[in-house]
Amino acid sequence: MLDRRSKSNEGAMSRFATWASRATGSAGAFVTAVALIAVWVITGPLFHYSDTWQLVINTGTTIVTFLMVFLIQRAQNKDAMAVQLKLSEIVAALEGASNKLISVEDLSEEELHVLHIHYKRLAEMAKRDSSIRESHSVEEAEARHAFKEDRRKHKR
């Protein structure tokens, strides 16, 4: 029973976070925020620019900012995971694609750096080739490049 309730709360929180992120990122939300600030500024003389008047805006904006950080992060985590899953599906489905990249988001920074260097080398090799569509992986490109280099050396 607890597990089912936990999943229900998790789903409700996820839906709320997604809704809140979309709603607060809208033009209407921005206009509302500007209007609230305008009302606060206009009421300044009425409250003699008191410490309480200043505290109202400071407290309100601090609370909203604090809560929004968590809501937006949650929505971004969900979106990032969805994008990663879609990319993993594409990589897994492509014939000749390197399966090293399927769970690339789980690699350490050092491992990501190593992969970055490999793909940078692949891009450099592709620039030297007549068509960038000729290779499918770093290993294949390196082998093809080495073969071409050997042919050039033997022609001389």
| 70 and 121 part of one domain | no
Angle (deg, nearest 10), helices 138-155 and 109-128: 40
With respect to residue 40, please indicate whether it lies within any of the assigned structural domains.
yes
With respect to residue 102, please indicate whether it lies within any of the assigned structural domains.
no
Q: In the chain, how many domains are there?
A: 2
What per-residue confidence (pLDDT) applies to 130?
63
Whether the CB-CB separation of 11 and 21 falls below 8 Å is answered with no
Domain housing 77: 1-96
Query: At 45, phi and psi to the nearest 5?
Result: -60, -35
Output the pTM of the full model.
0.57
| 91 and 111 part of one domain | no
Question: What is the Cα 154 distance to its own chain's centre?
Answer: 48
| 127 and 85 part of one domain | no
CA distance 103 to 89: 10
| 15 and 78 part of one domain | yes
pLDDT tens, the chain, 156 aa long: 556 676 777 788 888 888 888 899 899 999 999 999 999 999 999 999 999 999 999 999 999 999 999 988 888 888 888 898 888 888 888 877 777 777 888 889 998 898 889 888 877 877 776 665 555 566 666 776 777 778 778 876
| 76 and 4 part of one domain | yes
| 81 and 136 part of one domain | no
